[in-house]
């Protein structure tokens, strides 16, 4: 049996998912796993020793040191389209920050936004759509407004972008 590196497997997964979409018009549900892999690699996160509901990782450096992180993803196939949503946010979970990894249509990450749980919870309370509130749904545009861009493909990590009111 051949042993593959995780990096090579993830690159092949990206390629296959993009090819699958081009050929079928359907989307393979791999965004969450890619996001966990990319967030851990790019933000220097490690898995928890013991599972905590809605928490994927713990931070090891910079402002995320010892912080509990939930990871979400969104693939942007058509930037002209509006109404993009992110996956359900469990506000009752034990996480401190939510890292949202954004992908191009070829499943390559181009940006990561980081939102503090307290700021996201406040934004959710101010929403007028009770159904979306109850399910922890948030639009991509709203998430960007209440979070900070902390990683880009062009500049890498930008810890200085983290805000002071995140605690």
At 164 the pLDDT is 45
Distance from the Cα of residue 11 to its chain's centroid: 18
Q: Give the pLDDT means over successive 10-residue stretches in the chain (167 positions).
A: 79 96 95 96 95 94 94 89 82 93 96 96 76 70 95 89 48
CA–CA distances in Å: residue 120 to residues 10, 127, 145: 30, 11, 10
Question: What is the DSSP secondary-structure string of the chain?
Answer: -----HHHHHHHHHHHHHHHHHHHS---S-HHHHHHHHHHHHHTEEE-SS--TT--EEE-SGGGBT-EEEEEEEE-S-TT----EEPPP-TTSS-SEEEEEEE-TTS-EEEEEEEEHHHHHHHHHH-S-HHHHHHT-EEHHHHHHHSEEEEETTTEE-GGG--GGG-
Residue of 66, 72, 79 lying closest to 138 (CA atoms):
72
At 3 the pLDDT is 61
pTM: 0.88
Each domain of the chain, given as residue ranges in start order, spans 6-166
Cα torsion through 67, 38, 20, 4, rounded to 10:
-120
At 126 the pLDDT is 81
Under CATH, what is the fold of the domain 6-166? Answer: PvuII Endonuclease; Chain A (3.40.210)
**In the beta sheet, which residues pair with residue 98?**
70, 115
Q: Which residues contact 33 (CB under 8 A, 6 or more apart)?
A: 13
At 161 the pLDDT is 53
């Amino acid at each position: 049996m051949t042993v593959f590196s995780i990096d090579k497997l993830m690159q092949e997964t990206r390629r296959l998912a993009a090819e699958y979409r081009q050929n079928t018009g359907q989307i393979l549900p791999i965004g969450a796993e890619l996001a966990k892999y990319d967030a851990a690699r790019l933000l220097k996160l490690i898995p928890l020793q013991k599972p905590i509901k809605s928490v994927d990782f713990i931070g090891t450096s910079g402002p995320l040191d010892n912080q509990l992180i939930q990871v979400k993803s969104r693939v942007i196939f058509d930037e002209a389209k509006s109404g993009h949503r992110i996956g359900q946010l469990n506000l009752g979970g034990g996480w401190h920050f939510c890292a949202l990894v954004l992908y191009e249509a070829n499943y390559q990450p181009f940006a990561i936004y980081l939102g503090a749980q307290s700021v996201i919870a406040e934004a959710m309370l101010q929403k007028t759509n009770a159904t979306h509130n109850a399910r922890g749904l948030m639009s991509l545009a709203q998430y960007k407004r209440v979070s900070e861009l902390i990683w880009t493909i062009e500049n890498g990590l930008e810890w200085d972008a983290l805000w002071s009111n995140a605690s």
